[in-house]
Chains A and B, each alone.
Chain A
Amino acid sequence: MSAFAPLIEAVTRHRGVTACLVVSEGDGIVVDGTAQVGMNTSPFAALTASLYRKAGKASAAAGFGTVSYFELEAEEGRVLAAGRNGLLIVAVAESRVNVGLLRVELLRAAERL
């Protein structure tokens, strides 16, 4: 069992979460995670990390400091991410997910990255 397994398990336990990945922020490589069979997580992880980096650059340019949480809402679900120490914990969830709870879970998990 990897060091991230408990974090991933805590996130995927939430109803509506379909995938959870630990991703390297710098290059978008998947470090650990779980997703539905058949999902190609590598390009998704790379693009999500890229979005997170863009958010970080915009934030730094505005003097807002580092990004701690990122949430992308879509027509049929959400992508949520929290980062620390060059790693991101990313969750993919259905629209019905309790966003408040999942946000807290991700921030808590990020503290342990």
Chain B
Amino acid sequence: MSVIEFRNVSRWYGNVVAVNDITMDIGPGVTGLLGPNGAGKSTILHMIAGFLEPSKGTLALDGTATWRNPEVYRRLGLVPERDSVYAFLTGAQFVSATAKLHKLPDPEQSAAWAIGLTEMAEAQDRKISTYSKGMRQRIKVAAALVHDPEILLLDEPFNGMDPRQRLSGTIQVMVAGRLAASGDFRAIRRLMTSRPHVFRVKTTDDRRLAAALVGRDYTHAVELTSKGLQVRTSDFGAFCEQIAVIARDENIRLTELLPTDESLESVFGYLIAN
């Protein structure tokens, strides 16, 4: 089982510190790096991938430094962020060429396996230049998986994807180059769900519903806006269960109920503030 070990790793660009004295172990399983823009996620990932040298400290995969060591790619797979691929190749040609670069015993079979895994079999004989962005992402994942790596690094895997579908296991939260939170994803998700939630509610009588909501202990704040009611609640579950009951009791019709801050940014904001 592979472990990526960070020991007092820092990385700076001129006067700017991108990663500040990180010590952690990343073990088997899916690990996500979360953090706002500029937190140092890409820097961390590029250092693991051997495409950036730590300015200080050591970063090793099972005891071997990844910098200047392409041999780590026998156990490592990287899905780069940039969209550029050899667009003149077909998907199948691209993945099997990658298999050959890994000197796999049966490159065609490995390519077929990886393409099947990413559900790209139907499009595999088309040139990559004809692929959509999502298909390019998938063929890049197929190429990164073709040698069945123990560790797969995905740079910006959330582009156009729901992070909650993608994440499980451990996550590391980075803020301004430092490790802000680290641990089991479920624990962090509990933190995330117990934070105040904001909903926008449109009804036939906003003012009356506002009055009724103010009396409940899970209501943090209510604001009348031109777009309807803005409600902050400290208990996501209770609010969702009771809003319909309150509306029925008060004889108000709900026309719209929207969570307004489900974005990853607001989750970060909450985690950072704590």
A and B: real partners? no
